[in-house]
């Protein structure tokens, strides 16, 4: 598999903004159908949203949790191989050794599992009068960085709340990632305030493409997702964006822009490493 240094310059990315229901089998069937449609439209890397196979909520995680490999990831493996694409499997509730994780499984064009990202930062927040949520009631955090190589570029993974932590994106940039993908489900409080802002910030800070895949909005759900799956350029421009309905977002990623912007504004060579550093504690 080619690494970033020998990469092809352009490729099509697709984000699946899936309408998630309470019926897992329906979610899997529709997700795979939309992945197939994205591949027919030329997408080479496709991402599903956070919690694509189940409703989002601490009460749902134990009920819908699976081992990996399991029913949902087997379907993802099959459709990735059938379509010959790189498939970022959004996330599912994963059960392993009695613990639950919010986990993204990525599959290559041969259907092989490339990497498994467990959400590092758990969504425990309290905005009085608006939203209180505690993922840590049921979930455990992951403890590893997650990147994978394609013939186009190296990709770094985070899940939703992970995007708020700038250090994670910086570590990925240091490791040669040119595209960061965050399946996520911001809500009607944090979405309008911070969803696009955080994506543009991570993109500009690290001179990388940033993509976020959200579930479609369901106003009747106990947790209402913001939607607006988005792709942002290394210059901080919104390249493509969905609304709130189920949709596929396409963006043609031009990696020459990464090199051009890094040459024009050479922040990496200008960092004051004599004064500060962001470094990974684990590899």
Which positions are catalytic?
50, 119, 160
Beta strands in 20-112 (DSSP E): 45-47, 86-88, 92-96, 99-107
Give the whole-angstrom CA distance, residue 20 versus residue 186: 14
Smallest Cα–Cα separation from 32: which of 97, 107, 101, 95? 107
Beta strands in 58-163 (DSSP E): 86-88, 92-96, 99-107, 113-118, 124-127, 131-134, 147-149, 154-157
Backbone angles phi, psi at 205, to 5 degrees: -60, -35
Buried (b) or exposed (e) across 240-270, using 16+ Cβ within 10 A? Answer: bbbebebbbbbbebbbebbeebbeeeeeeee
Contact (CB, 8 A) for 119 and 103: yes
17 membership: H or E segment, kind and range: strand 10-17
Q: Residue 128 CB: number of other CB atoms within 10 A? A: 6
Give the whole-angstrom CA distance, residue 111 versus residue 80: 5
Cα atoms in the Cβ-side hemisphere of radius 13 Å centred on 79? 28
Which residues neighbour 196 within 8 Å (Cβ) at sequence distance 6 or greater? 228, 230, 232, 238
DSSP-derived letter for residue 137 is G
DSSP-derived letter for residue 191 is I
């Amino acid at each position: 598999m080619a690494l970033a240094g020998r990469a092809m310059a352009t490729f099509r990315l697709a984000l699946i903004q899936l309408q998630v229901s309470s019926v897992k089998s329906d979610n899997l069937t529709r997700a795979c159908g939309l992945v197939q449609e994205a591949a027919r439209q030329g997408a080479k890397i496709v991402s599903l949203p956070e919690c694509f196979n189940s409703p989002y909520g601490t009460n749902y995680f134990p009920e819908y949790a699976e081992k990996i490999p399991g029913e949902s990831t087997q379907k993802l493996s099959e459709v990735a191989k059938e379509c010959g694409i790189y498939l970022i499997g959004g996330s599912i509730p994963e059960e392993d050794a009695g613990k639950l994780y919010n986990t993204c499984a990525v599959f290559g064009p041969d259907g092989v599992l490339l990497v498994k990202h467990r959400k590092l930062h758990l969504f425990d927040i309290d905005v009085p009068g608006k939203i209180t949520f505690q993922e840590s009631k049921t979930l455990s955090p992951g403890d590893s960085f997650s990147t994978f190589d394609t013939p186009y570029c190296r990709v770094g993974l985070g899940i939703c709340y992970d995007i708020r932590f700038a250090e994670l994106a910086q570590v990925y940039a240091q490791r040669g990632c040119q595209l960061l993908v965050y399946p996520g489900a911001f809500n009607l409080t944090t979405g309008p305030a911070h969803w696009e802002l955080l994506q543009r910030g991570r993109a500009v800070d690290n001179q990388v493409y940033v993509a976020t895949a959200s579930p479609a909005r369901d106003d009747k759900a106990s947790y209402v997702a913001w939607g607006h799956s988005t792709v942002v350029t290394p210059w901080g421009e919104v390249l493509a964006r969905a609304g709130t309905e189920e949709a596929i977002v396409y963006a043609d990623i031009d990696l020459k822009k990464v090199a051009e912007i890094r040459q024009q504004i050479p922040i990496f060579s200008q960092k004051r490493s004599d004064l500060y550093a962001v470094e990974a504690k684990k590899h």
